[in-house]
Amino acid sequence: MKTLRQNAGYRLRLLRKNPGFTLIAAITLALVMGANTAIFSIIYAVLPAPTPYPRGLLLALPGTALGRMACLGTTRGLASFLFSIRSTDPLTFAAVAFLLIIVALVASYFPARRAARIDPVAALRCEIGDGDR
């Protein structure tokens, strides 16, 4: 745990010392997040119903895989900004993938839990009542 803390501190110092790398890393992260958002939007538009908790992981895994491929493609441009660390650091890739999967699980869990508390008969009555207007 101590080496993990030291490694994180070292990486933060590197980000402060290399603003160009930080900018490119932020742009790459924004592009990957945009790609994940686009993938989720397309999948959500194709699926007929809101996705419950177990399907959230099935949606997050392809997005994470595509994000990893995009990151691997952009790391060649970042390699010149890095010192004493590889541009394809497996710890960083694993940590970001894990974080995105956790975010996807949380994002799909709370709406599913909320939908589970709704009485199906009351929901159908509301839908039928709105259709008459």
Rounded CA-CA distance 30/24 in Å is 10
Q: Which long-range contacts (CB under 8 A, 24 or more apart) does 93-102 make?
A: 93/68, 96/67, 96/71, 97/64, 97/67, 97/68, 100/36, 100/60, 100/63, 100/64, 100/67, 101/57, 101/60, 101/61, 101/64
pLDDT tens, position by position, 39-67? 877 777 766 555 455 566 777 778 788 88
pLDDT tens, position by position, 100-132? 888 887 777 777 777 777 777 777 777 665 555
What are the domain boundaries of the chain? 2-131
Overall pTM > 0.85: no
